Structures are given as C-alpha cells and as structure tokens.
C-alpha cells in the first residue's frame, strides 16, 4: 500500500480532496486502507480518516497485487469480477492515469529457455 501511495499521480486527480478506500476481502487484519490526497499531499491510513470516500476498490489481495505489478489489467480484473471499483465517472474514466502502477509493471519477463530433454 505504501508503494501505491507513492505512485499515485495526484496531477491527474480532480483538484481539492480525494479519498480512496481499499478493501481486501480475504484479509482478517489490515483489510481496509484509505489514501487521502489534499493539496498534493498523500496520506496512507489504516483507520478511516472520517472523510467522504470518492473511490472504492474491493478485491482480494492477490488480485490487487497482480494489478499493481502489471500482470493483470484493471479492465480485465473488473471484467472477471475480481476487482470492483466504485466512484464517480471523473475518477473512473481513466483510472490508469492516476493509479500509478509498480515502477517496473510495463516490463514483461523474458521467456524461459526450453530445457533439453523435456
């Protein structure tokens, strides 16, 4: 979550305050996280900051990790009903522009060489 916090592109979010909530359905502890953005300051919270939430992300931890690492697109995760994202269209029209992914997410691993005798 700290990496997600650091990689958010606040310039692509509407001006003013934005609050994003993540709910991980398969975790017992630390299953809720909030990111609060105001004046380009980004705070990560494990307790509800008490502000109106603008965007809700709901998934299991593995799905969000796959999205973050670039192994699964947001669109595909949503189509597969593995990720639910709720919010106004101003946030949802181009999530990828403000939800910065892992720094190396766009670099795909090379194919492993075939082993002889397999």
Q: DSSP string spanning 9-64?
A: -GGGSPSS-EEEEEEETT-SSS-EEEEEEETTEEEEESS--SS--SEEEEE-HHHH
109 has pLDDT over 70: no
| CB contact at 8 A, 8 and 99 | yes
For each of the domains in the chain, give its residue range(s) and CATH number, in order of start.
Answer: 2-98 (3.30.1050.10)
pLDDT tens profile 89-105: 999 998 989 998 877 76
23 pLDDT tier (thresholds 50, 70, 90):
very high
pTM of the full structure: 0.85
| CB contact at 8 A, 38 and 51 | no
40 pLDDT tier (thresholds 50, 70, 90):
confident
For residue 100, the model assigns a pLDDT of 83
Please give the structure tokens belonging to residue 12. Answer: 């692509």
Percent of the chain exceeding pLDDT 70 equals: 87
For residue 118, the model assigns a pLDDT of 45
Q: Which residue has the tokens 């691993």?
A: 109
SS3 70: coil
35 has pLDDT over 60: yes
SS3 94: coil
């Amino acid at each position: 979550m700290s990496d997600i916090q650091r990689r958010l592109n606040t310039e692509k979010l509407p001006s003013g305050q934005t609050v994003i909530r993540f709910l991980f359905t398969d975790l017992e502890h630390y299953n809720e996280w909030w990111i609060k953005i105001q004046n380009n300051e980004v705070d990560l919270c494990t307790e509800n900051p008490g502000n109106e939430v603008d965007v809700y992300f709901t998934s299991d931890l593995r799905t969000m990790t796959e999205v973050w690492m670039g192994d699964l697109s947001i669109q595909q995760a949503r189509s597969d009903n593995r990720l639910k994202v709720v919010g106004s269209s101003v946030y949802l029209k181009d999530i990828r522009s403000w939800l910065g992914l892992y720094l190396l997410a766009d670099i795909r691993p090379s194919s492993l060489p075939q082993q002889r005798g397999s």
